[in-house]
Amino acid sequence: MGPQDRLGALLDGMGCTVCEEHVPVERIRLLARRDDLLFLQVDCPACGSTSLGFVADEPVASEADRLADGTPITSDDVLDMHAFLASWTGDLGGLVRPAAAQRARRAGRADRRTGRSA
């Protein structure tokens, strides 16, 4: 089963986040996949809105179990994230990539600029 087929199985019957009307799977486009995360573009035929989102491609129960003992998200957490995202000037990849991968990539670019090998 390919990623687009898996996407259809995950999102069959998805509702629009703006108008809550049904969005057929053919109007949902897989933009990228990284590990167990799918990045999507959702084009609603009812209201004409376009939304971006992501879906974790793993069982919900295991995710719920993993987070069960975590600290609940507070309204302050939401406001902090809102302020952070409002001032973010990078791209989506820079926001979601692990910091170690970013550092390794930066080091590789610096090595290419200086002609050194890692």
Note the pLDDT tens digit of each residue in 81-115. 899 888 988 887 777 776 655 566 666 655 555 55
Confidence (pLDDT) at 73 = 84
Note the pLDDT tens digit of each residue in 12-57. 667 888 898 988 888 888 898 887 788 889 899 999 999 988 887 6
Residue with tokens 């799977």: 25
Q: How many Cα atoms sit within 13 Å of 107 on the Cβ side?
A: 8
Residue 6 has pLDDT above 50, yes or no: yes
CB of 40 closer than 8 Å to CB of 55: yes
CB of 42 closer than 8 Å to CB of 17: yes
Full-model pTM: 0.43
- The region, left, alpha or beta by phi > 0 then psi within -120 to 50, assigned to residue 88 is beta
Confidence (pLDDT) at 118 = 44
